[in-house]
Amino acid sequence: MAEIQSDKNTDTLEISFFEVLGFFKKYLLVLIAAAVLSAIIGVAFSFLLAKRYTAQTILLPELGSSRNSSFFSMALGGGSDPSGKLVPELYPNILSTIPFGQYLLKIPVVDENNVSYPSLESYMNRDSSQSFLSSLMSFGRTPKEDTKAKSPNPNIKILAFTSKQERMVNAAKNLVQATVGTTDGIITIESEMTDPVVAAMVVDASEKYLIEYVSDYTISKTTQQVDFLQKRVQEARKRQQSAEYALQAYRDTHRNTFLNVARIEEQRLQAEYVLSQAIYSDLSTKMEQFKIREKEEKPVFKVLEPVRVPLAKSSPKRLFIGIIFSVLGLFATLTYIIFFKEKLHKQLV
């Protein structure tokens, strides 16, 4: 009985296999035609999409450096305090902030037709359709009303945007993508736009913003110390000059005086002059030391790949779109044949 049951199962499997072969043989031309037609539709659809170009730059930041390793810092007594530099992993976060979006909206740009715009915001607001598909999608669409910004007390410095301003800032900062290599720390900044020249200018502005932000963050404390010392040096210099003038004036007016009281006053003025001179000399030395430290702490970025205007488009990828449409068309045709024409699902019940 077991052998008979096994033979029946084998026959059933063989019949099912031949039925599948017969099914694909019957509809082979239909499936091929559906796949080819869907691919053609996909490629035709890709021509309705706007061409986009990707501009990029590659930077190599200073890694593993510390001011303690330099000769000047050791001479200045830099000690073992950390330099407080930003790690490269945080750089993409810098290029995804609202202040960065505001910065981008203010940069002047020139498009590929050599048309100048006073700012990126005016370029983004220009009245021109990017593609036939975008014009179809925007046809008959009424613009949204701009919601007024709910500004708090004007004496409090808090950002307040209208809905349009917020959309513009978000759109601007989303134009730029930054990535950092996990092993080498190489920074890649890129932007994909419909205009290759504008894309290159946006990447260039992003590179400058990142370098300036990181440099300002790294040396801000030392810069404040230099500014503080410069003011103190000016005050010490004035004090030294006043003490020197007072001492010399006293000596001129008491040249032939031999009283002990006069000598005491001269000694007091002499001590004041020596003290002011020592303070001025000490502050000047410290100021020069902090200026050297400020130069040492400034991060170094090496441009591995400079920004250039892209010549080849990065999207749409017509071959990829054609393959996707072909697979979808093949799947849709199979679904129609199985469930609607042959109704094979009813035979399986």
Query: DSSP string covering 104-173, please?
Result: HHHS-EE-TT--EESSHHHHHT-S--SSHHHHHHHTTPPPPPPPPP----TTS------HHHHHHHHHHH
Residue 265 has what pLDDT? 80
Q: Report d(CA 77, CA 285) in Å as an integer.
A: 13
Q: Which residue has the higher pLDDT, 164 or 256?
A: 164
Q: 184, 179, 169: which is closest to 56 by C-alpha?
A: 179
* Separate counts of helices (H) and strands (E) for the chain: 12, 6
pLDDT over 90, % of the chain = 28
**Contacts of the segment 153-156: beta carbons below 8 A, 24+ positions apart:** none
Q: Which of 7-11, 63-67, 73-77 has the lowest mean pLDDT?
A: 73-77
Is the model more confident about 52 or about 345?
A: 52
Long-range contacts of 312-315 (CB under 8 A, 24+ apart): 312/53, 313/51, 313/52, 313/53, 314/52, 314/53, 314/54, 314/192, 315/49, 315/51, 315/52, 315/192
Per-residue pLDDT, 191: 93
pLDDT at 70: 40
Mean pLDDT of 219-228: 86
Which pLDDT score, from 0 to 100, does residue 344 have? 60
pLDDT, residue 25, reads 78
Asked which of 141-145, 158-162, 259-263 is least confident by mean pLDDT, the reply is 141-145
Q: What is the mean pLDDT of residues 337-342?
A: 76
Number of C-beta neighbours around residue 270 at 10 A: 14
pTM for the predicted model, two decimal places: 0.68
pLDDT 10s digits, 266-314: 788 888 888 989 998 999 999 898 888 888 888 888 899 999 999 988 8
Residues 6+ apart with CB under 8 A from 329: 34, 35, 37, 38, 39, 41
Q: What are the residues facing 303 on neighbouring strands?
A: 59
**pLDDT at residue 17 tops 90:** no
- What rounded mean pLDDT belongs to the chain? 79
**83 bridge partner residues:** none
pLDDT at 250: 81
